[in-house]
Amino acid sequence: MTLTRSRTDRMIASVAPVLDFYEHGTWERHHLDPDIADFAFGNPQEMPLPGLVDTLQRHAVPENKDWFAYKTSEEEPRQVVAEVLRGRTGLAYEPEDVALTAGAFGALGVTIRALCDVGDEVIFLSPPWFFYELMIESSGATPVRVRLDGPDFALATDAIAAAITPQTRAIIVNSPHNPSGRIYREPELAALGRVLTEASARHGRPIILISDEAYNRIVFDGIEFRSPALDYDATLTIYTYGKTLLAPGQRIGYAALSPTFPDRRASMSRIMIQQIASGWGFPNALLQHSISDLESLSVDIAALQARRDRMVPALREMGYEVTRPEGTFYVMARSPEPDDVAFAERLAGLGAIVLPGSMAELPGWFRISLTASDAMVERGLEAFRAAMIRR
Ligand SMILES: Cc1ncc(COP(=O)(O)O)c(C=O)c1O
């Protein structure tokens, strides 16, 4: 596939708002202010988990001459992941079904390239994670957007069914959903499974469900995350340790083909070739050695939930319309003024940075990341109050 200039321009356009915000906009201008409350991205605002530091230090000490040799998807970490997936889903995942990747980002990039042809359509749900459209475009496939309606952002299976064509090769489903915090349950996933099974049969080739589960361990209120692989055979699960460890700069994650995935050995070979072609897109040796210990570590979910429970009622009491996330790091709120970018700039002047909804195809809203520290939450609430008063 050659990258045409118009395709590259579409890639640039798809991420321009968020890159602008990051490189030249409100975040860039305000995030170094020592008093700012930074709710913009799912980035750590406090020191890393002590257990993560210990794990990395321990596994940095070589145990044999191959410790830092070239690594692909190594046997031991693949076994760890397969066992975890078996435990979480009850499905018979095997180590050979797992590709270790540079986070969910890396997994998405290589799997779309490996499993889609130029001109195939890939459906994504809007509001989306910022980079889906970019990654679909860059692979040579064609992005197809299906909108979810707020404030509940339910999985719109009728709209998905209507968007499917004979060219549809894949759909990306993200649960727990960034930015709405929704977690899709059995009835909606079963309905989606029926739609995809029926459409695959009608068009004579399986539609791949790419399940982006970056936040599958960031769940609140004891809700159980359900894997879409339980309701649909051709499911590919994508995961990153970056969210659970709140260390997205340490790049490790995976793509795993469900045991019922069609033609899975050939599909895994294609994924591996794309990993090599993408510039040796495998996680570093140190992270692969660490994976079994990383599995047992997590950001403090109770603290995230407590921040949600502090912020949501406080913002509602101030007059904001706010979602109550079931999982993820994010709370969505309706901007009190129609221009969410202008509102975010005004709010930053008062001491809090949020992500304007326009960055996630949701103009008129803004997103708050609960990865802010407790002190930032308290300072931030003052800024939100002041922004509501001084309109
Ligand atoms: C929904 C979703 N998918 C994928 C990613 C990418 O995760 P990572 O950078 O850990 O690979 C993110 C990160 O923000 C995300 O929110």
Amino acid at 39: F
Among 212, 250, 371, which is best to mutate for testing ligand 1, by the most ligand atoms less than 8 A from CB?
Answer: 212
Q: How would you class 185 by CB atoms within 10 Å of its CB: exposed for 0-12, middle for 13-18, buried for 19 or more? A: middle
- Helix, strand, coil percent content, the chain, rounded in steps of 5: 45, 15, 40
Place of tokens 């969210």: 243
Q: Would you list the DSSP string of 224-277? A: PP--GGGT-SSEEEEEEHHHHTT-TTS--EEEEE-TT-TTHHHHHHHHHHHHHH
The fold adopted by the segment(s) 67-294 is Aspartate Aminotransferase; domain 2 (3.40.640)
> Which residue positions in the chain have pLDDT lower than 50?
none
- Which atom of ligand 1 is found nearest the CA of 248? 10
pLDDT of residue 3: 61
Give the mean pLDDT of the chain.
96
Query: Between vectors from CA 238 to CA 7 and to CA 304, what angle results, nearest 5°?
Result: 110
Residue 202 CA to residue 166 CA, distance in Å, equals 8
Residue 386 CA to residue 320 CA, distance in Å, equals 12
Domain locations in the chain as residue ranges: 5-49+299-389, 67-294
Residues in contact with ligand 1 by the CB-under-6-Å rule are 42, 103-105, 129, 174, 178, 212, 214, 240, 242, 248, 253
CA–centroid distance, 277 to ligand 1, in Å, is 22
Residue 189 CA to residue 193 CA, distance in Å, equals 6
Amino acid at 378: E
CB atoms within 10 A of CB 4: 10
pLDDT of residue 390: 73
Q: Would you list the DSSP string of 65-101? A: TTTTS--SS-HHHHHHHHHHHHHHH-S---GGGEEEE
Under DSSP, is residue 169 helix (H, G, I), strand (E, B) or coil? Answer: strand
| Separation in Å, CA 304 to CA 307, 329, 347 | 5, 7, 22
Determine contact, residues 151/158, Cβ cutoff 8 Å: no
CA–centroid distance, 129 to ligand 1, in Å, is 7
- Which atom of ligand 1 is found nearest the CA of 328? 16
Residue 40 CA to residue 22 CA, distance in Å, equals 9
- Of 3.90.1150.10, 3.30.70.3450, 3.40.190.10, 3.40.718.10, the CATH number of 5-49+299-389 is 3.90.1150.10
Determine contact, residues 276/299, Cβ cutoff 8 Å: no
Query: Between vectors from CA 194 to CA 225 and to CA 103, what angle results, nearest 5°?
Result: 40
67-294 shares the fold of 5-49+299-389:
no
pLDDT of residue 1: 52
CB atoms within 10 A of CB 305: 17
Among 15, 105, 246, 332, which is best to mutate for testing ligand 1, by the most ligand atoms less than 8 A from CB?
Answer: 105
